Amino acid sequence: MAGVPDARTDAELLVAHVLGAPRSALHARSGYLDPAQLAALRTLVERRRAREPLQHILGHWGFRRLTLGVDGRALVPRPETEVVVERCIALLARVDAPRVLDVGTGSGAIALALADERPDAHIVGVEVSPPALALARENAERTGLAERVELLEGDVLGTADGPFDLVVSNPPYIPEERLASLEPEVRDHDPREALVASGLTEAVARGAPDVLSPDGWLVLEVGDGQAHDVAELLRALGYHDVRVTPDLAGIPRVVEGRP
């Protein structure tokens, strides 16, 4: 399918979407698509052949225990970011009613997953992009978590009042010179400002101590090959207990530390 990775899986998901059924039900189903369904499927297949992200075509995607709305206003939630949430949950395990700041919340994936899995937490998500912030608010309503997550428009850390027990961020980290080599689904459809490194990783690392509680943690998602340098940055800034965690593919993906 025009170089689409795992085209069979995508095709099955598109058929399931047209039928309004789970993919698992396809193998138990007999019969054919009716003309209207077939026409709808052909339209969706052509969009996918053009390398529009499957998630955008479906309009939703799973992240942890949630189903989030997705479109071109923010990054599609990715499996590696679920590891970021896992580390946050682990670090907050012994903290009662934790306060968490998610910097660059995008679609709201991290903030909403934390609110879902820690019902006692107070979560604040900040986002500089108004379209992305609108999507995050839609997802907060979609998941029934709007009353538990505070979403603010702002840049880096200055918008929200601390102290926080944890600051987390999945900042843009793709070097600009690598942008052209990315898959079309990412390069041509994800917001550029959410992809290309702009110094936000260092800005968050430098600013987090000002809003963290004395025992608070910083958790950062980083790009392939960047974990060592980000860990060294944290140590140089005075962070302790710096740790690197790999994602499910074994790539060092999450860097954490305490100021």
Reading the chain (259 residues) residue by residue, the pLDDT tens digits are 567 777 788 788 888 888 777 776 666 566 677 788 888 888 888 889 889 999 999 999 999 999 999 999 999 999 999 999 999 999 999 999 999 999 999 999 999 999 999 999 999 999 999 999 999 999 999 999 999 999 999 877 767 788 999 999 999 999 988 888 889 889 989 998 888 888 999 999 999 999 999 999 999 999 999 999 999 999 999 999 999 999 999 999 999 999 9
100 phi-psi bin (left φ>0, alpha ψ -120 to 50, beta other)? beta
Domains defined for the chain, CATH in brackets:
7-50 (no CATH), 64-258 (3.40.50.150)
Residues contacting residue 245 through CB under 8 Å, at least 6 positions apart: 83, 87, 252, 253, 254, 255, 256
Give percent of the chain with pLDDT exceeding 70. 95
pLDDT value at residue 122: 96
Q: Is the pTM of this model over 0.75?
A: yes
Tokens representing 51 are 């390398």
Instruction: Tell me how far CA of residue 70 lies from CA of 73, 84, 94, 115, 195, in angstroms.
Output: 8, 19, 33, 19, 16
- Asked whether the bond before 209 is cis by omega within 30 degrees of 0, the reply is no
Q: Using alpha carbons only, what angle is made at residue 76 by residues 4 and 63, rounded to the nearest 5 degrees?
A: 110
Q: Using alpha carbons only, what angle is made at residue 14 by residues 248 and 249, rounded to the nearest 5 degrees?
A: 10
Q: How much is the CA Rg of the chain, to the nearest whole Å? A: 19
Which residue type is seen at 161? Answer: D
Which residue type is seen at 177? Answer: E
User: Rounded to an integer, what distance in angstroms lies between the CA atom of residue 220 and that of residue 137?
Assistant: 23
Instruction: Tell me how far CA of residue 75 lies from CA of 33, 79, 104, 107, 147, in angstroms.
Output: 33, 12, 11, 7, 23
User: Rounded to an integer, what distance in angstroms lies between the CA atom of residue 164 and that of residue 159?
Assistant: 13
